[in-house]
Amino acid sequence: MDATALTPAGAPIAATPREGSVSAPLGTATDAARVLAGRRLVVLTGAGLSTDSGIPDYRGPDSPPRSPMTYDQFVSGYTAQQRYWARSHLGWQRIGTAVPNAGHRAVAALEAAGLLPTLITQNVDGLHEQAGSRSVVDLHGRIDEVVCLNCRRITSRQVLHERLTEANPGFGADAPIHVAPDGDVEYDDTSTFRVVPCTSCGGVLKPDVVFFGETVPADRVARCYAAVEQAEAMVAAGTSLTVMSGLRFVRHAAKRGIPIVLVNRGITRGDPLAVLRVHDGCSAVLPELASRLR
- What secondary structure, in 3-state letters, does the chain show? CCHHHCCCCCCCECCCCCCCCCCCEECCHHHHHHHHCCCCEEEEECHHHCHHHCCCCCCCCCCCCCCCCEHHHHCCCHHHHHHHHHHHHHHHHHHCCCCCCHHHHHHHHHHHCCCCCEEEECCCCCHHHHHCCCCEEECCEEEEEEEECCCCCEEEHHHHHHHHHHHCCCCCCCCCCCECCCCCECCCCCCCCCCCCCCCCCCCEEEEECCECCCCCHHHHHHHHHHHHHCCEEEEECCCCCCHHHHHHHHHHHHHCCCEEEECCCCCCCHHHCCEEECCCHHHHHHHHHHHHC
Residue whose C-alpha is closest to residue 190's, from 169, 204, 166, 172: 172
pLDDT at 8: 46
Mean pLDDT of the residues in the chain: 89
Higher pLDDT, 5 or 263: 263
**According to the model, what pLDDT value does residue 225 have?**
98
pLDDT of 62: 53
The residue-averaged pLDDT of 68-80 equals: 95
Q: How much is the pLDDT for 20?
A: 54
Strands 141-148 and 205-209: antiparallel
Q: Kindly state the percentage of the chain with pLDDT values over 90.
A: 76
pLDDT at 15: 45
Q: Is the pLDDT of residue 17 over 90?
A: no
* Lowest-confidence region among 14-23, 100-109, 157-166: 14-23
Alpha-carbon distance of 143 to 163, in angstroms, equals 16
Task: Point out the residues that are catalytic.
Answer: 140
pLDDT at 10 exceeding the cut of 60: no
Q: CA 209 to CA 213: how far, in whole Å? A: 12
pTM score, two decimals?
0.88
Q: Tell me the percentage of the chain whose pLDDT exceeds 70.
A: 86
Give CA–CA dist 215/64, Å, rounded.
25
pLDDT for the residue numbered 97: 87
- Position 260 scores a pLDDT of 98
- The torsion region of residue 84 among left (phi > 0), alpha (psi -120 to 50) and beta comes to alpha
Please state, in angstroms and as integers, the Cα–Cα distance from residue 129 to each residue in 64, 124, 136, 193, 268, following that order.
Answer: 28, 11, 7, 32, 26
**Mean pLDDT computed over 198-225:** 96
> Does 1 score more than 70 pLDDT?
no
What is the model's pLDDT at position 187?
Answer: 81
Looking at residue 94, what is its pLDDT?
A: 77
Q: Is the pLDDT of residue 6 over 60?
A: no
Average pLDDT over residues 1-14: 45
pLDDT digits (tens, 9 = 90+) for 112-137: 999 999 999 999 999 999 999 999 99
The pLDDT value recorded for residue 11 is 44
CB atoms within 10 A of CB 222: 11
